[in-house]
């Protein structure tokens, strides 16, 4: 079974890392049906390159701090 590693916010077009996403990411205002859990890295790349989605800085920073 694939792990669903990413949380996509389709309102703000932001890619969160599921393990690190939290209140500071600001997706709590996003309706549930506009959020999507993804495990596929290729789809993430497509969102970034084709759709202009951005990786969430809060998730990145938090990941670096806890490493």
Residues that bind Zn ion (CB under 5 A): 16, 21, 25, 56, 58-59
User: Among residues 40 and 54, whose Cβ is nearest to Zn ion?
Assistant: 54
Report d(CA 13, CA 10) in Å as an integer.
Answer: 5
Q: Find out whether 27 and 58 touch, Cβ atoms under 8 Å.
A: no
The nearer residue to Zn ion, 16 or 53, going by C-beta atoms, is 16
Angle at 38 between CA 53 and CA 34, to 5 degrees: 65
CB of residue 33 vs Zn ion: minimum separation in angstroms?
19
CB of 49 to Zn ion, least distance (A): 20
């Amino acid at each position: 079974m694939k792990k669903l590693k990413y949380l996509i916010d389709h309102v703000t077009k932001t890619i969160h890392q599921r393990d690190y996403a939290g209140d500071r990411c600001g997706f709590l205002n996003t309706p549930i049906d506009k959020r999507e859990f993804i495990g596929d890295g290729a789809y993430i790349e497509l969102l970034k390159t084709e759709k202009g989605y951005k990786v969430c800085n809060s998730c990145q920073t938090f990941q670096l701090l806890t490493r």
